[in-house]
């Protein structure tokens, strides 16, 4: 049963501003984000990962750059299965503005029924995440997956065999590590939202339950 480490990218400029970045590849980490990336790399560098997969989005690449300086023999496989959700016409908008839309309640309570305008559905995102986890089910592990808040929340939901509509029950902070066991015979959550003791990661409004907490 492979042990799969789920790392959310560190704090980005969009996180700080409360913007739903989506697949905008011009968004960089903040100074705090770069600091937290170095901090988390010190922990992860002690683990002999069998393989590393990452979202191709820039903020994920910046998060693991310090780690790759330690793990020079470990190539990173970029995977579209781990890419941020396509929020369509919602991308780039302030979450405070989006939360006033009538569709917001549906996203929070029944996301299985929602598709972002000109974007992706939660069902589609769930499928690509599940397909990736299934493909890794017979690996030896440990494995590192670097991704985004909503994608990691979906992976946690799948590890517990929960219905899609329960995925908003999880919170995943920037630069946090969650760990799951995932095989064809047995699935479990080993650790959830471990932020390495950085209390500042939780100094945010809890009202925007999208993108792991704040986009």
pTM for the predicted model, two decimal places:
0.91
Q: Where are the alpha helices (DSSP H) in 110-181?
A: 122-135, 149-159
Give the Cβ contact number of residue 41 at 10 Å. 19
pLDDT digit of tens for each residue in the chain (215 aa)?
689 999 999 999 999 999 999 999 999 999 999 999 999 999 999 999 999 999 999 999 999 999 999 887 888 999 999 999 999 999 999 999 999 999 999 999 999 999 999 999 999 999 999 999 999 999 988 999 999 999 999 999 999 999 999 999 999 999 999 999 998 889 999 999 998 644 433 333 344 445 544 33
User: Which DSSP category does 164 fall into?
Assistant: G
Domain count, the chain: 1
The end-to-end CA distance of the chain, in Å, is 31
Residue 165's domain is classified under what CATH number? 3.40.50.1240
User: Which DSSP category does 11 fall into?
Assistant: -
Residue 214 domain-assigned (yes or no): no
Residue 215 domain-assigned (yes or no): no
What residue numbers bound the domain in which 201 lies?
A: 3-208
86 touches 25 (CB < 8 A)? no
Residue 92 domain-assigned (yes or no): yes
């Amino acid at each position: 049963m492979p042990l799969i480490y789920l790392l959310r990218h560190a704090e980005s400029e969009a996180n700080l501003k409360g913007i739903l970045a989506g697949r905008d590849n011009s968004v960089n980490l903040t100074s705090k984000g770069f600091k937290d990336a170095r901090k988390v790399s010190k922990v992860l560098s002690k683990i002999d990962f069998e393989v590393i997969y990452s979202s191709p989005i820039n903020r994920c690449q910046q998060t693991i750059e310090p780690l790759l300086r330690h793990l020079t023999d470990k190539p990173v496989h970029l995977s579209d299965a781990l890419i941020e959700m396509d929020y369509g016409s919602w991308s780039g908008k302030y979450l405070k503005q989006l939360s006033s839309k009538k569709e917001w309640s549906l996203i929070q309570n029944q996301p299985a029924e929602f598709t972002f305008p000109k974007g992706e559905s939660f069902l589609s995102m769930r499928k690509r995440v599940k397909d990736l986890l299934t493909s890794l089910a017979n690996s030896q592990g440990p494995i590192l997956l670097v991704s985004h808040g909503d994608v990691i929340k979906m992976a946690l939901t799948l590890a517990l065999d929960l219905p899609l509509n329960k995925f908003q029950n999880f919170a995943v902070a920037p630069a946090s590590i969650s760990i799951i066991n995932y095989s064809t015979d047995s699935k479990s959550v080993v650790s959830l939202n471990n932020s390495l003791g950085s209390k500042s990661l939780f100094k945010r409004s809890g009202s925007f339950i999208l993108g792991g907490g704040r986009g």
